[in-house]
Chains A and B, each alone.
Chain A
């Protein structure tokens, strides 16, 4: 099974497939239940924020109060206020829905593309497989952020573009992973054993190759959501995503940039929310990976 290596948020695209069988690591802090519980509770809070923001932050995210502009975090404004006196906590809670849907949408798009490309490259008829193989390698030469920027340059910035750009931008890395997994499963001893029993190709594909190859993707999907949100927020930070009046987290970062010296919390806190989500996703992903590798066998 492949090691799922999470990627550096700011700099990278999806990684090439990790090397060799990942060993069981029972003692790693990141794999311990308490970190999993922490991660799951954080995700649960965000889910509530996305589905029922009024429950966590009853006031309006657009309520302007110029008298209270650029206030540092306090009891009244736990995350401080922005240049128009809007409460940052309220804005972050109300931005969760947009941010999470962009992340989920992009991750789903990336994984679907990756499965399609990876499966074609590994299992398709020879000329098509060879072509798709090349295409994956070429696309992999473009870093995620760059590929995303290219797509935005063609279509212009918008929320939809952002989902497509991040999704397509990170797909090649996952496609390589899927391709590797399928090839590994197809060349395994248990597939040979099924051939020796006289089982047909379709049956072997359905019962052995695909389940074994795609199972690790459950863990990868968790990681992909976290990464997608980081990528999307990077684009917004550059002013190439959802535009600032929106409370989407990346847009909050963009809006806070002019005030970084006077009001650092405007960037630090939304950033922290995103980083925590990326870490939670990593923790959940690693836990899933660990479960998949050892759980079924113990």
Chain B
């Protein structure tokens, strides 16, 4: 582990039960659970990936999806360098919600946040293509308009899950990830504005148990 390590703070947003936690579970543990307890508040997990000669450490903030938890979200996406906005390809409402999240992120989050739009649960379409309720074209259009990365994934079959994270890793300037993450952010949590602390994260990152 002599590679330089870069931390990327990544937040998952999206309607309840679209599979945010499952995407994380698949990415972090390559596992899947059919009935996962809903995330209460938020969960935090980490995962390391090698991209070229770099090691990227993803610090993943997985948030609760229910509408009323939205007021907690700013606490978690502050300083985030990347966001996965997840919807369920079989639930049109979840796509509307995804639009809202994209809008909110553009307004409130760091200016250069990399956002990926994720249509999850495509495995359901394998059994019955009629289940699709959000057209791929529609999502692609949104991604283009709003300058988002776009993937259709399945946490269940692991389709495209790693690709999402790798793509995000490629899209974030690695060298700047650490010293630049204090700039251009909207600190929504008025409690703490301590931005210096993250600077030494790289040095001690290997101590983390992940």
Do A and B come together as binding partners? no
Q: Which B positions have Cβ atoms within 8 angstroms of A?
A: none
Q: Which A positions have Cβ atoms within 8 angstroms of B?
A: none
